[in-house]
Amino acid sequence: MSNPLLDFSGLPRFDAIEPAHVQPAIDALVAEATAAAAVAGKTRPVTWETVALPLEDATERLSRAWHQVSHLNAVVNTPALRAAYNAALPEVTRFFSALGQDAALFAQYEALADQADALGLDVVRRRVVANALRDFRLGGAALDAEGKARFAAIQQELAALSAQFSEHVLDATDAFAYVTDDDAELAGLPADVVAAAREAATRDGRDGWKLTLQMPCYLPVQTYAEDRALRERLYRAFGLRASESGPAELDNGPLIRRILALRAEQAALLGYGNYAELSLATKMATTPDEVQAFLRDLAARATAHARRDREELEAFARDTLDLATLEPWDLTFASDRLRQARYSYSAQEVKQYFTEDRVLAGLFDVIGSLYGLRVAPDSAPVWHPDVRFYRLVDADGTLVGQFYLDLYAREGKRGGAWMDDCRNRRIRVDGTQTPLVQLVCNFGKGADGKPATFTHNEVTTLFHEMGHGLHQLLTAIGELPVAGINGVEWDAVELPSQFMENFCWEWDRVRAMTAHVDTGEPLPRALFDRMLAARNFQSGMQTLRQIEFALFDMQLHAGFDPAQDDVLQLLERVRDEVAVNRTPAWHRFPHQFSHIFAGGYAAGYYSYKWAEVLSADAYAAFEETPDQLAATGVRFRREILSRGGSRPAIENFRAFRGRDPDIAALLRHSGM
């Protein structure tokens, strides 16, 4: 095929996709899907084969092609690709808005529900139909003509605003650089960070060292730089990204107010009191009050621990580091020094043992021992030379799925870490379509000829994203709308990912995935024991930080009026309630809160703590039966990972654990 976005015969041809391919492909696929929807909306008799299957065929092709474009826009962003993405975005948004409001299709799915017994629909297909009817209502299908038009216009504008928000954060991050030729400013920085900074300056034709806001540079500066002024310089630049303090065209302030206003209007059109209620319509939690009560209960349990953490840090900074005041740009630095003093190790010392290849081998060994699966290198067209590709094979040699691994930070790549599904599992007449996923991180690349090394936090991030990937790869469901993470309540999606993090704290696992970058020696047991003793170091402060973000998100979407109130003032009120580490008033955290303004976590950021209750309790089942690892892994795979969205998440949990979730395991794992 001349246009790789129209080629669905095999793996995506990421290396061949050009910006010029985007619009022609989207035009063709939208036309195809529109025609299929029209036929499905009037076909008789109404059956699964005449309505659901042809509609899924056409929309899947469009979704897969658009996903490829969106993915490239996130990981290899260029002006030309961004322009092509933004030009096609309205057409894609318009199509799916119209699909969600299609009265004829809504009626067809109502007929499927009414005739479910006569048609012999199994429990999975009944779940698909029930979800579809819910989504039609949430998409505005029950509105009158005027309401539908306004709802579609809101969706269109929200899609554009979310894309702009993300672009502003990316551009503001990439725009900053501090170049110094004074090596004294770099005192305390790890050798690999200094080497990478030197290489970055050389690439720009500069002498000295180039420091950026990319995480592999920014976080080490905050953690290890002895130059307090340098820490403050980067902290301020990071905290003011995409705000009124920079170029007006990158200011996310106006976008935030508009996004909130549109979401509130969208919820009102559908009869909800606020956007939080609308968001929770597809989640385990039922009301904003329930969520806030959960968060406040957890905050009450964590506050005493957090205050003690803060008091200890202030005393250490004053008495040992000669810091009379503990400024925000001192927190990470002082915390690392306190950790070293108390537990006799540093994160940088540990990092030397977590070399990339050994970490990956250890990760794949966990997958093998839990689920009897084998990970093997594979080949595929990729979007960047650093990307790796693997296949996941079951014990009998059957291909389960495949995944890409894009580990390193670079300019033009969105920050953070995430998993995306590129192709979902689906049972077709001609065979089973296997899942294909992308795992993306932003770690530092090896320098001076040495392999990349990861901090222990980065190792847990990798395991976290692999947990999401396994949720997608190990689905046993053949119906697209509820396979993998499709149809899973958003506040349960983090269960498999957070669950995987626990294996980064098991000695046998850690020893096997470490080899010192210089000596090849595994991590010493004594050092691991000190890490383990420090596992819950400042867990109170960390818990309150997450609760601060979650409460802010929920209150922002539950009755907040951006025309009458100020976003930053709301954030300060939340901090008055729960924070022990106050962020400066000039900091513009909301302007960079991509999770809720450019991701899927609006009125859903609480999901991280909500799902942590589930994941900690699930892992406790493995702790309780250490001699039955494989058997417990089989049950976890069968009852949770393989089920996708084919039944409610709480039923999945009960089937695995035999009871409702208990917060006790989370509190125990957190040392609280």
At residue 559, the pLDDT reads 86
Residue 417 and residue 471 in one domain: yes
Helix or strand run (H / E) with residue 402 = strand 399-408
- Has residue 47 been placed in a domain? yes
Mean pLDDT computed over 526-537: 95
Mean pLDDT over 183-211 rounds to 96
Q: Give me the mean pLDDT over the 42-71 stretch.
A: 96
- Please check whether residue 510 lies inside any domain of the structure: yes
- On whether both 517 and 390 belong to a single domain, the answer is yes
Domain identity same for 259 and 396: no
Residue 482 lies in a domain: yes
Considering only CA atoms, which of 180, 171, 227 is closest in space to residue 200?
180
Given 56, 60, 277, 465, which residue is catalytic?
465
Arithmetic mean of pLDDT, 556-572: 94
Each residue's pLDDT tens digit, 575-629: 999 999 999 999 999 999 999 999 889 999 999 999 999 999 999 999 999 999 9
We report the CATH number of the domain holding residue 424 as 1.10.1370.40
- What is the β-pairing status of strands 436-443 and 399-408? parallel
* Predicted pLDDT of residue 302: 96
Other Cβ atoms within 10 Å of 174 Cβ, number:
17
**Alpha carbon distance 598, 165 (integer Å):** 6
User: Are residues 31 and 98 part of one domain?
Assistant: yes
CB 645 within 8 A of CB 488: yes
The pLDDT of residue 256: 98
In the listed set 605, 625, 642, which residue is the last one of a domain according to the structure? 605
The residue among 577, 605, 633 that closes a domain is 605
Give yes or no for residue 147 having a pLDDT over 90.
yes
Same domain, 549 and 486: no
What average pLDDT score do residues 74-102 get?
97
pLDDT (average), residues 292-306 = 97
Question: Do residues 320 and 457 both lie within one domain?
Answer: no
Residue 156 lies in a domain: no
Pair 282, 531: CB distance under 8 Å: no
Domain count within the chain? 4
CA–CA distances in Å: residue 133 to residues 93, 100, 126, 270, 444: 20, 10, 11, 14, 45
Radius of gyration of the chain measured on its C-alpha atoms: 25
The string of DSSP codes covering 22-81 is HHHHHHHHHHHHHHHHHHHHH-SS--IIIIIHHHHHHHHHHHHHHHHHHHHHHHS--HHH
Q: Is 465 a catalytic residue?
A: yes
484 and 376, same domain (yes or no): yes
Tell me what the mean pLDDT of segment 354-375 comes to.
Answer: 97
Residues 211 and 307 in one domain: no
Residue 557 belongs to some domain of the structure: yes
CATH number of the domain bearing residue 280: 1.10.1370.10
CA 518 to each of CA 338, 429, 444: distance values in angstroms, whole numbers, following the listed order:
27, 54, 17
* Whole-prediction pTM: 0.94
Write the CA distances from 50 to 43, 109, 195, 428, 589, integer angstroms. 7, 11, 61, 15, 49
Side-chain-side CA neighbours of residue 337 (13 Å) = 22
Question: What's the domain range around 188?
Answer: 176-240
Task: Kindly state whether residue 375 falls inside one of the protein's structural domains.
Answer: yes
Question: Does 549 have pLDDT greater than 90?
Answer: yes
Please tell me the distance from the alpha carbon of residue 627 to that of residue 643, in angstroms, as a whole number: 25
Q: Are residues 372 and 515 in the same domain?
A: yes
pLDDT score at 1: 60
Do residue 225 and residue 328 come from a single domain? no
Q: Which of 587, 605, 623 is the last residue of a domain?
A: 605
What is the H or E stretch that residue 386 is in? none
- Write the CATH number for 112: 1.20.1050.40
Could you tell me which residues come within 8 angstroms of residue 205 by beta carbon, excluding any fewer than 6 positions away?
A: none
pLDDT at 322: 97
* pLDDT given at position 229: 98
Same domain for 109 and 71: yes
Tell me, what's the pLDDT at 563?
A: 87
**468 part of a folded domain:** yes
**Residues in Cβ contact with 369 at an 8 Å cutoff, skipping those fewer than 6 apart:** 629, 630, 633
| DSSP run (H or E) holding 209 | strand 209-211
Same structural domain, 421 and 325? no
In a domain, 96, yes or no: yes
Residue 119 in this model has a pLDDT that exceeds 80: yes
Mean predicted confidence (pLDDT) in 189-209? 95
Q: Which two tokens stand for residue 510?
A: 């850690």
Quote the pLDDT of residue 428.
Answer: 85
